[in-house]
Amino acid sequence: SKKLETYAQEWADTLQSQGCSPEHREQDLYGENIAWASGVRLTPERVVAMWGEEREFYDYGSNSCEEGKVCGHYTQVVWEDTRRVGCAVARCEKSEVWVCNYDPPGNWVGEKPY
């Protein structure tokens, strides 16, 4: 959605002003995924694919992530109730930061993504 794209761009621009540090926004209106890269230009497809690669660490039966691994980006991407998404990117001298926001948000403790 254009609204979420604008919301994501505002945060990406803020992160850019702080050196592209991949920090989450303190808010609970929307779900949020952040990706950071250095020395390479990512495409939107690659960013989503990176998050999707976390699927191998997610166990649907136990609704948990493999110990020591990250899978919350994946579960947010596939969250069944999400209806709108907006993404943006900001580039710094040697890095870039991607922000995607999801409405309604997912990753509720104890709930499965689908």
pLDDT recorded at residue 27 = 84
pTM over 0.75: yes
Domains and CATH numbers, the chain: 2-22+31-103 (3.40.33.10)
Over the range 33-69, which residues count as b (16 or more CB within 10 Å of their CB) and which as e?
bbbebeeeebeeeebbebbeebeebbeeeeeebeeee
Q: 69-114: per-residue pLDDT in tens?
A: 999 999 999 999 999 999 999 999 999 999 999 999 999 999 999 9
pLDDT recorded at residue 32 = 98
Q: 59-73: per-residue pLDDT in tens?
A: 999 999 999 999 999
Residue reference for tokens 């808010």:
27
pLDDT recorded at residue 85 = 98
Q: 23-60: per-residue pLDDT in tens?
A: 999 988 999 999 999 999 999 999 999 999 999 999 99
**Distance, C-alpha 23 to centroid of its chain:** 11
> Going along 1-114, which residue ranges are E strands?
31-38, 58-59, 64-65, 84-91, 95-103
